[in-house]
Structure 1
Amino acid sequence: MFRFILLVLLGTIVTVNCERHSLTYIYTALSKPVGLPGIHEFTAMGLLDNKMIDYFDNDNQKKVPKQDWMKEKLPADYWEKGTHSRCSKQQWFKVNIDILIKRMNQSDDDIHVLQWLHGCVGETQSDGSLKFVHGMDMYNYDGNDFLSFDDDNQVWVAPVQAAEPTKRKWDDVQVLKEYTKGYLEKECMDWLSKFVTYGQKQLESSSPPTVFVYATPARVESNVVLRCMATGFYPKDIILHIKRNGRILEKADGVETTGIRPNEDDTYQRRDFVEILKSDKSDYTCQVIHKESRLNIEKHWDHKVEEEGGSNGMTIGIIIGILAVVVVVVVVVGVLVWRHKKQQQAAAPLYPAAAAAPLIPAAAADHLNPAAAAAPLIPAAAADHLYPAAVAAPLIAGAGSKESLGTKSDSGVSSDGSDHNVPTEKSSLQASGSDDQSLNSV
Structure 2
Amino acid sequence: MFIIAVLLLLSTGLTVNSEIHSLRYIYTAFSKPVGLEGLHEFTAMGLLDNRMIDYFDSDNQTKVPKQDWMKERLPDDYWEKGTQSRKSKQQWFKVNIEILMKRMEQNDTNNHVLQWMHGCEGETQPNDTLKFKSGMDKYSYDGDDFLSFDDANSVWVAPITAAVLTKTKWDGVQVLKEYTKGYLENECMDWLNKFKEYGEQQLREASAPQVFLFAKKTKIETNIMLTCLATGFYPKDITMNIKRNGRVLTEADGLVSSGVRPNDDDTHQIRKSVEILRNDPSTYTCQIIHKATGVDVENVWDRKIPDVPSDGPPALAVVAAVIVVLLIVAGVVGVVVFLKFRNNVRSSVSHVPISINAAPLIVSSVPVTSTDNKGSDKSLSGSDSGGSDSGVSLGNASGPRETTSTPLLVENTDSVEEVLNVLIYCHY
2:317 pairs with 1:318: yes
Corresponding residue of 2:71: 71
Equivalent residue runs for 1:213-228 within 5 Å: 213-228=213-228
Change in 2 beyond 3 A, CA 1:262/1:49: same
Local SS of the residue matching 1:259:
coil
By how many angstroms is 1:324 displaced?
2.8
Residue of structure 2 in register with 1:396 after alignment: none
- Residue equivalent to 1:337: 340
Q: 1:296: how far off? A: 0.5
Structure 1 pair 341–149 and aligned structure 2 pair: CA distance change class (3 A): farther
Give deviations 1:411-434, integer Å, cap 9, x for gaps. Answer: 75426699xx9xx956xx99xxxx
Q: Distance in 2 between matches of 1:150 and 1:269?
A: 35
| Aligned residues with identical type, % of pairs | 56
- Once residues 233 and 365 of structure 2 are traced to their aligned partners in structure 1, the CA distance between those partners, rounded to angstroms, is 40
Number of the residue aligned with 1:184: 184
Letter in 1 for 2:136: M
Match of residue 156 from structure 1 = 156
The answer (yes or no) to whether the contact 2:209–2:232 under 8 Å persists in 1 is yes
Give the secondary-structure state (helix, strand or coil) at the position aligned to 1:80: helix
Task: Compute the displacement of 1:226 (Å).
Answer: 0.9
What amino acid maps onto 1:90 in structure 2? Q
Cα distance 1:166–1:22, how it changes in 2: closer, same or farther (>3 A)? same
Equivalent residue number for residue 233 of structure 2 = 233
Number of the residue aligned with 1:391: none
Structure 1 residue 18, shift from structure 2 partner: 3.4
Structure 1 pair 144/72, CA: closer, same or farther in 2 (3 Å)? Answer: same
Contact 1:307 1:313 in 2 (8 A): no
CA distance in 2, matches of 1:70, 1:249: 43
Distance 1:234-1:416 versus aligned 2 partners, 3 A rule? farther
Q: How far did residue 343 of structure 1 move?
A: 8.1
Instruction: Classify the secondary structure of the residue corresponding to 1:321.
Output: helix
Give the whole-Å Cα distance in 1 for the aligned partners of 2:211 and 2:146. Answer: 43
Distance 2:35 2:424 in 1: 36
Q: In structure 1, the residue corresponding to 2:336 is in which secondary structure?
A: helix
Asked if the contact 1:119/1:403 (under 8 Å) is kept, the reply is: no
Alignment of 1:193-272 (within 5 A): 193-272=193-272
2:389 — aligned with what? 404
**Partner AA of 1:405 in structure 2:** S
Taking a change above 3 Å as real, the CA distance of residues 39 and 9 of structure 1, as seen in their structure-2 partners, is farther
- Pair 18,98 (structure 1): closer, same or farther in 2 beyond 3 Å: same
Residue 298 (structure 1) aligns with: 298
8 Å contact kept, 1:11–1:262: no
The residue type equivalent to 2:209 in the other structure is P
- Which residue of structure 1 aligns with residue 400 of structure 2? 414
**Separation in 2, partners of 1:47, 1:384:** 21
Equivalent residue number for residue 361 of structure 1? 360
Amino acid in the other structure paired with 1:315: P
Structure 2 distance, partners of 1:189, 1:274, is 45
Equivalent-residue separation in structure 1 for 2:19 and 2:364 (angstroms): 35
Deviation at 1:323, TM superposition (A): 2.8
TM-score (norm 2): 0.81
Q: Give 1:41's aligned residue.
A: 41
Q: Partners in 1 of 2:365 and 2:17 — Cα distance? A: 36
How far apart are the structure 2 equivalents of 1:360 and 1:47?
20
Asked whether the equivalents of residues 120 and 133 of structure 1 are also in contact (C-alpha less than 8 Å), the reply is: yes
Q: Compute the displacement of 1:52 (Å).
A: 0.2
* Preserved contact between residue 7 and residue 13 of structure 1 (Cα < 8 Å): no
Separation (CA, whole Å) in 2 of partners of 1:367 and 1:306: 64
Q: In structure 2, do the counterparts of structure 1 residues 113 and 171 end up closer, same or farther at CA, with 3 Å as the change threshold? A: same
Compared CA separation, residues 402 and 164, structure 1 to 2 (3 A): farther
Q: CA-to-partner distance for each residue in 1:61-114, whole Å, 9 max, x for gaps?
A: 111000000000000011011111111111110010000000110011210000
Q: 1:120 touches 1:135 (CA, 8 Å); kept in 2?
A: yes
* 2:10 and 2:50 in contact (8 A); partners too: no
Of 90-99 and 2-11, the range deviating more from structure 2: 2-11
Distance in 1 (alpha carbons) for counterparts of 2:392 and 2:173: 19
Tell me if the contact between 1:23 and 1:121 (Cα under 8 Å) persists in the aligned partners.
Answer: yes
8 Å CA contact 2:264, 2:321 repeated in 1 = yes
Q: Decide whether the 8 Å contact of 2:381 with 2:401 is kept in 1.
A: no
Which segments of 5 or more consecutive residues in structure 2 lack a partner in the other structure? 348-357, 368-379, 408-414
CA distance in 2, matches of 1:63, 1:365: 22
Q: Provide the C-alpha distance between the structure 1 equivalents of 2:181 and 2:4, rounded to a whole number of angstroms.
A: 24
**Counterpart Cα distance in 2 of 1:87 and 1:322:** 28
Relative to structure 1, the CA distance from residue 223 to residue 301 in structure 2 (aligned partners, 3 Å threshold; closer, same or farther) is same
Tell me the number of residue pairs that the alignment of Structure 1 and Structure 2 aligns.
Answer: 385
Give the match for residue 351 of structure 2.
none
1:334 is displaced (CA, Å) by 2.4
Distance change in 2, residues 1:343/1:306 (3 Å): closer
CA RMSD of aligned residues (A): 3.3
Q: 1:158 to 1:340 in 2, by over 3 A?
A: farther
Is this contact kept in 1: 2:3–2:333, CA < 8 A? no
User: How much does 1:307 deviate?
Assistant: 3.0
CA distance in 1, matches of 2:237, 2:285: 20
Q: Secondary structure at the match of 1:296?
A: strand
Amino acid at match of 1:249: L
| Structure 1 pair 155–7 and aligned structure 2 pair: CA distance change class (3 A) | farther
Which moved further from structure 2: 8-17 or 238-247? 8-17
Per the alignment, residue 352 of structure 1 pairs with none
Change (3 A) 1:317 1:231: same
What SS class does the counterpart of residue 323 from structure 1 fall into? helix
Distance 1:208 1:416, change over 3 A: farther
Question: Where does residue 90 of structure 2 map in the other structure?
Answer: 90
